[in-house]
Structure 1
Amino acid sequence: MRFWLSALLGLLLATPARAADYYFTTSDGARLHYTEAGPAGAPFLVFVPGWTMPGWIFSPQLKAFSQSYHVVLFDPRGQGSSEVTATGYNQDRRGEDLGELVDRLPGKVVVIGWSLGVLDTLAWIHQGGSDKLAGLVLIDNSVGETPAPVPQPGSRQPPMPVPRSREAKMRAFVEGMFRTCPAESYLNRLTVSCLRVPPAQAEELLRYPVPRSYWKDAILSTDVPLLYAVRPRLQGQAQNLLIDRPNTSIAIFPNAGHALFVDDASRFDALMRQFLETKARL
């Protein structure tokens, strides 16, 4: 009997918590969505996705961490299941959106931002939003450090006829996130989600009107523990960040695509778990 009880307990502990969908209304009236899973009273991890991407791209991390932490997958405005508003696609409003989500959560949080989500997170910090931070994980985007990033030579995508439709361009963009291409159904679902963001709003998200120093000022304004996980093209920034900013850890992913937390989920999750257990102020 004791054996079966022990086995049942082990099975329950190995099963990720059931995810639920929630919405909140921002101070400017936008209805934004997030997915949440995890045991009551556990520390909060907030994942912020990149340009046009839905929060569910962090599903591997929801599965990996929702047994021990309260995981929140955020859909920024216009993305995922959040409302597509006419305005608000600049760094100030996006930073406010994240801050208003974090303010809803009890206690300290660790924020994990990827790609454009790095900039949205730093915009929130620039506005004074680091008081609730227990830790920070920034994934594969420039943080305003030197050297400035340069375009990557070449592409694994085959040349396509021009002009291309918006759908074809977005599909190529989505495929380019990964070194190891996921299943066709996954790519299709991700492409459809990304296409929810209208062209004008998607373009606005690519033109945050601030200098590179804005992002560096933000990241140097706080001393909370930081894990900076990037591909080799940003290794120079990572090394300089170690010099300029105490309490920083770096990890270089030479064998993964931009969505390195999907391509190399096992390594990313192990590094993040170590960071949470030994560095974050939870």
Structure 2
Amino acid sequence: MASNFITTPDGVRLRYWQEGPTSAPNVVFIAGWVQTAAQFKKQVAHFKSKFRVTTYDHRGHGDSDKPAFGYRVTRLAADLESLLTQLDLTDVTLVGHSMGSSVIWAHWDLFPHDRIKKVALVDEGAVITADPGWTPEQAAEAGTVFPDGQRFELTKALRGPEWKAAWEGLTRSFFSPDVAAADIEWTLEQQMKTPREIAAALMVDHAAMDWRDVIPRIDVPALVVGARCSLFPAAGLEWIGRQIAGARTVIFEKEENGYHCMFWENPEKFNRILEEFLLG
């Protein structure tokens, strides 16, 4: 596996990895909040024989630099643009999980689309924090996770003395109750490479975004993946699928390990539907 760094215009080194034939179609996996590139190891192992697979750690995450600035989704989108241009990746399929989907939306909003061939959006709502005036049905369709103001309660907990318990509780909610304890331990080890102050700052920004005006403007083939038992309502992923012309929407059911990290708990189905999309 090739591994190196790019350096962003504001001087931050981002660690990236590449596997697969250099002449094969490009796929870039974009991790979620506090997740590292390693979270996609089951996808890299599957796709590297047919595709040029690129993964990377966001600033503040994993093996990338951890400066005291830049923890906004728009800055992460600019980092993605630096990755695409410096590695000269073309005809790329972007696969974003959770906050990684928001990074795709921010990139679509801010930068040219000429390098992007397809997008796969995995379990992220268009609006994470609900408007207090919304009905429960409106909140679900928007894909919300937090009632108004709750994102500040989470970030306060991450900055407080019981931060490890708060972090572990949130991480456990990403998986099914039957997930192996070793998987949770490994995931927490990866996540906690992000300093908690960075995690809190990024969550405040991430949870404040509203991407509903961006999503309908996506005009490349799209795959939308949700999960029936995820903290993100499936109705919100179905709404996203209806906004993008020709998009395919797949919802993992409970018996299919349909939780937020379904790509980890049911990689067989996830890799199959993603490969169908990539080859279609």
Distance 1:169 1:64, change over 3 A: same
Q: Answer whether contact 2:97 2:124 (CA < 8 A) is retained.
A: yes
Q: Answer whether contact 2:98 2:122 (CA < 8 A) is retained.
A: yes
Name the residue aligned to 1:229.
Answer: 225
SS in 2 for 1:51: coil
Aligned-pair CA distance for 1:244: 3.0
Paired letter, 1:249: R
Q: Quote the Cα distance in structure 1 between the aligned partners of 2:245 and 2:7.
A: 36
Name the residue aligned to 2:157.
Answer: none
Does residue 199 of structure 2 align to residue 217 of structure 1?
no
Name the residue aligned to 2:31.
Answer: 49
Matches within 5 A, 1:34-113: 34-103=16-85, 104-113=87-96
SS in 1 for 2:233: helix
Which runs of no fewer than 5 residues in structure 1 stay unpaired? 1-18, 153-162
Q: Answer whether contact 1:223 1:247 (CA < 8 A) is retained.
A: no
TM-score by length of 2: 0.81
Q: Quote the Cα distance in structure 1 between the aligned partners of 2:184 and 2:252.
A: 22
Aligned length: 249
Does residue 248 of structure 2 align to residue 254 of structure 1?
no
* Equivalent of 2:142 in 142, 148, 156: 148
Which runs of no fewer than 5 residues in structure 2 stay unpaired? 129-137, 147-159
Deviates more, 1:239-248 or 1:113-122: 239-248
Q: Quote the Cα distance in structure 2 between the aligned partners of 1:51 and 1:268.
A: 20
Q: Quote the Cα distance in structure 1 between the aligned partners of 2:247 and 2:99.
A: 20
Question: What is the percentage of aligned positions where both structures have the same residue?
Answer: 24
SS in 1 for 2:223: strand
Name the residue aligned to 1:273.
Answer: 275
Matches within 5 A, 1:131-210: 131-144=114-127, 147-151=141-145, 165-179=162-176, 181-208=178-205
Q: Answer whether contact 2:143 2:234 (CA < 8 A) is retained.
A: no
Aligned-pair CA distance for 1:210: 8.7
Q: Answer whether contact 2:143 2:235 (CA < 8 A) is retained.
A: no
Q: Quote the Cα distance in structure 1 between the aligned partners of 2:112 and 2:183.
A: 34
Aligned-pair CA distance for 1:200: 2.1
Paired letter, 2:238: Q
